[in-house]
Structure 1
Amino acid sequence: MKKRVVITGLGVAAPNGVGIPAFTDALKNSVSGIRHHAQLQALQFSCQIAGQPQISDELKNQYFTELELRGFNSTGILYGVIAGIEAWTNAGLTIETNNEPDWHSGTIFGSGTSGIDKFRESIYKIDDLQTRRLGSTVVAQTMNSGISAYLGGKLGLGNQVTTNSSACATGTEAIMMAYDRIQSGQAKRILAGSTGDSGPYIWAGFDALRVCSSKYNDTPELGSRPMSASSAGFVPGSGAGALVVEELETALKRGATIYAEILGGNVNSGGQRGTGSMTAPNSEAVQQCIKNALRNAGISANDIDAINGHLTATTKDSLEIENWTKALNRSGNDFPYINSLKSMTGHCLSAAGSIESVASVLQLHEGFIFANTNCDDLHPEIGSQIDPTKVILKTIYSQPNIIAKASFGFGDVNACILFKKFDN
């Protein structure tokens, strides 16, 4: 018998809020985390704004020892550890210090890259024949699985400890992987999420592709404009989101707070065939991913109350809406409410799916749907497909029951997951 799977813990390090209380407040009140980035200006990037979590030295010291912080400059691991441990403690779980691993708990924590600044520092030292001065943590900081290794060690996890990587679909895929492992009985709980590094060495390639916003450098909060007629490309972002995904029976037995239930989902690829390419989605694959997610979750398209889309503020936004209308066979006034967190955080790349999933779950748990900022001028191609009132401009308190979350990434990869307000 397949097990029911729920979410019992949440953690986040987002550009507009580090920690669940601050992030929830930002969602409800449309607080932007997009700021001017002096280094991007100095490097003459066309896009000189970014979404980056604000992490104080005091906060770092709560999660890392003085020894660990010596020579440490991997922002991806920093964000992931902060979000991951917050989710773990938020779930009412303790950090054991005994010698026995927790065989029933693991982590699937995704990453696009790890420790780019550390890697660059190391290359310069190698070129300067200083290899012995690289430090003992350079490998752990720069290996892609560094984030899951850090979390696995800090929490003493004895089940699967791994890192997935699927571009912008990474975080949503990680949650689906955790769901599958628990549903099949291979684990009691998995700390699932993803993280993304900050800085010009991550964002430079996108700036070179001319897909980033460059018209709002003097007004950062206006720069990220998903679904807007005046959108000018995405704003780069970073951070981490984390969710404790747990077997319902175990969660009930220990009296855990249950934030939402995972009904199911789907992960697929368009194979870079048809309309798909390294950077463009195969629409047929996107629609199949959504349809298969519904089928796997055992619900109909009409059951969806809201969608937290991928919606990056690029020319592909109207195509994404078209794919949703076709996959759900719902349009006009029949279309669900839809929002994009990227209007407040920018595009957090490999961390996007997990941060946005945390936002989706918070909406279910607290009974609201957050607003789309910077979308007063809805793109006419979108307005012709769905009722403009479905793209809300102010937070509404409507008690959604089921939210669909989707992420689409470079390489023509897709992930869609269905979250439901928990009831017995």
Structure 2
Amino acid sequence: MSQKVVVTGLGAFSPIGGTATETWENAVKGVSGIKAITDDWVSQYDLPVYIAGRVAQSVEDSEFISKVETKRLDPSGQFAVISARQAWQDAGFSAGDAEEADELDPERLAVSFGTGIGGVWTLLDSWDTLRERGPRRILPMTVPMLMPNGSTAAIALNHKARAAAQTVVSACASSTESLHVALDLIRSGKADVVITGGTESAIHPMTMASFAKMQALSKRNDDPERASRPYDVDRDGFVMGEGAAALVLESEEHAKARGARVYAELAGTGVSSDAYHITANDPEGSGAARSIDEALKAGEIDPSSVVHVNAHATSTPVGDPAEATALKVALGSHTDQVAVSATKSMTGHLLGAAGALEAVMTVMALKDRTAPATINLENKDPDIDLDVVTEARDLPSGEIVALSTSFGFGGHNSVAAFRSVD
């Protein structure tokens, strides 16, 4: 078996919490982070949908980023830096960067971060500035702020990570694929430690209008907290979310040498492509099932060991059944014994950051032996034959496995399999 890779640090900046701990506690309680958008641009553009899951804490109130840094980073970069610093501190490293940490060689530290869209606020605000005020008013940092790899670069610079700085852009599968890259960086011998995760800040009038035009968003403007309702017969689309999440991964050998606290093992990951449609899932779920199967094989995991899935479950009429089908194909009859949580019911859909946030929750589920809630499931779709957790539920003792699944426009499928540790 390949060398073990373990999770030693967690960070999150999400619609239901300013930290990983707060996010997890609210996920267990079933707290919704979805609210009405009250910005002037809602009425200015007469948007048909104006509900979303914005971050629960303002960037200005976070202790993990300075005011100067916020001026040099797109909101997506701000969220990324905050979550990465949280995870770094949580992992117990003794200094702010690898260069100063006695227990870490900066040339053995890498970053693998994902995003679906990147610095869309910077891009579109700069376009408005150019049209209205001319080229002299464009900020010198515009390109570093808008480029999709800007968040990865900011984290790598901050932590002096010199082994690699890689960015994954695979729509809503991005940050789970970033875990796949991170696992390979360690198992290949390229790095001992990787800061991995994902970020997104796309609650912008253009993106809201675009997703609404696709009929992808829920139109429950009058009932925001109940709008995201995975698996419910009355689901009518996803709810936009924003934020970031980060995990510190280490080789087990490196973690043991420095006496690190270990949350769980990242046992395996899987990726595949549907090559079916630019936005729709393959209704047969074959590509998604292959990614699940690949993650299990990579971790030498028997499907019967899987007790929990934090599902992609976006609350779309087409996507939810396709994923349920994929789980049935990959796990067979054992699917009936798996506790499935759909935490987007609380956070909304963080696009490229969704997988990282759900990976953090999956790790916490194993650590606390608790499957988080799925809210708003009032009338379950009879075509979705899954054991959905509607109130937080205990998970079994002993060695168990939990999956985090992510699927994105373009047919991207990615899965992370985590194994519990004593």
Same fold (TM over 0.5): yes
Query: What residue number does 1:353 align with?
Result: 355
- Amino acid of the residue matched to residue 368 of structure 1? T
Is residue 222 of structure 2 the alignment partner of residue 218 of structure 1? yes
My pick for the range that moved more, 112-121 or 219-228, is: 112-121
Unaligned stretches of 5+ residues in structure 2:
none
Query: What residue number does 1:312 align with?
Result: 314
Query: What residue number does 1:202 align with?
Result: 207
Cα offset for 1:142?
Answer: 0.6
Is residue 400 of structure 2 the alignment partner of residue 397 of structure 1? no
In 1, Cα distance between equivalents of 2:99 and 2:273: 42
Deviations 1:151-176 (A, max 9, x none): 11111111101211000000110011
- Amino acid of the residue matched to residue 265 of structure 2? E
Sequence identity (%): 30
Query: What residue number does 1:130 align with?
Result: 134
In 2, Cα distance between equivalents of 1:399 and 1:419: 15
1:264–1:297 Cα contact (<8 Å) kept: yes
Deviations 1:105-164 (A, max 9, x none): 111111122222221222233334632332232121111110011111111111101211
In 1, Cα distance between equivalents of 2:337 and 2:47: 38
- Amino acid of the residue matched to residue 214 of structure 2? L
Cα 1:356/1:99, change in 2 over 3 Å: closer
In 2, Cα distance between equivalents of 1:226 and 1:378: 9
User: 203, 218, 232: which one pairs with 1:228?
Assistant: 232
Deviations 1:75-106 (A, max 9, x none): 11111111111001110112138589711111
Cα offset for 1:24?
Answer: 1.8
User: 290, 298, 301: which one pairs with 1:299?
Assistant: 301
Query: What residue number does 1:95 align with?
Result: 96
Query: 1:193-342 maps to which residues of 2 (within 5 A)?
Result: 193-200=197-204, 201-214=206-219, 216-271=220-275, 276-282=276-282, 283-315=285-317, 316-330=319-333, 334-342=336-344
Query: What residue number does 1:410 align with?
Result: 409
1:47–1:235 Cα contact (<8 Å) kept: no
Query: 1:107-146 maps to which residues of 2 (within 5 A)?
Result: 107-128=111-132, 130-146=134-150
Cα 1:158/1:17, change in 2 over 3 Å: same
Query: What residue number does 1:158 align with?
Result: 162
Query: What residue number does 1:370 align with?
Result: 372
Cα offset for 1:57?
Answer: 5.2
Deviations 1:342-395 (A, max 9, x none): 00001111110000100100101111011110012111111xx34xxx212111
Query: What residue number does 2:36 align with?
Result: 36
1:337–1:392 Cα contact (<8 Å) kept: yes
1:83–1:241 Cα contact (<8 Å) kept: yes
TM-score by length of 2: 0.92
Query: What residue number does 1:9 align with?
Result: 9
1:364–1:399 Cα contact (<8 Å) kept: no
- Amino acid of the residue matched to residue 280 of structure 1? A
Query: 1:50-129 maps to which residues of 2 (within 5 A)?
Result: 50-56=52-58, 58-60=60-62, 62-70=63-71, 72=72, 74-93=74-93, 94-96=95-97, 102-128=106-132
In 2, Cα distance between equivalents of 1:2 and 1:21: 31
2:70–2:78 Cα contact (<8 Å) kept: no
In 1, Cα distance between equivalents of 2:242 and 2:315: 16
Deviations 1:301-321 (A, max 9, x none): 111001111111111212211
Is residue 24 of structure 2 the alignment partner of residue 24 of structure 1? yes
Unaligned stretches of 5+ residues in structure 1:
none
- Number of residue pairs matched by the alignment: 410
In 2, Cα distance between equivalents of 1:410 and 1:98: 39
SS in 1 for 2:175: helix
Cα 1:76/1:313, change in 2 over 3 Å: same
SS in 2 for 1:261: strand
2:64–2:86 Cα contact (<8 Å) kept: no
In 1, Cα distance between equivalents of 2:352 and 2:60: 26
Deviations 1:163-219 (A, max 9, x none): 1100000011001110111011110010000101132233332111011100x2122
In 1, Cα distance between equivalents of 2:251 and 2:368: 22
C-alpha RMSD of the superposition = 1.9
- Give 4+ residue runs of structure 1 displaced > 4 Å after superposition: 97-101
SS in 1 for 2:355: helix
SS in 1 for 2:394: coil
In 1, Cα distance between equivalents of 2:311 and 2:67: 40
In 2, Cα distance between equivalents of 1:416 and 1:98: 32
My pick for the range that moved more, 393-402 or 185-194, is: 393-402
Is residue 174 of structure 2 the alignment partner of residue 170 of structure 1? yes
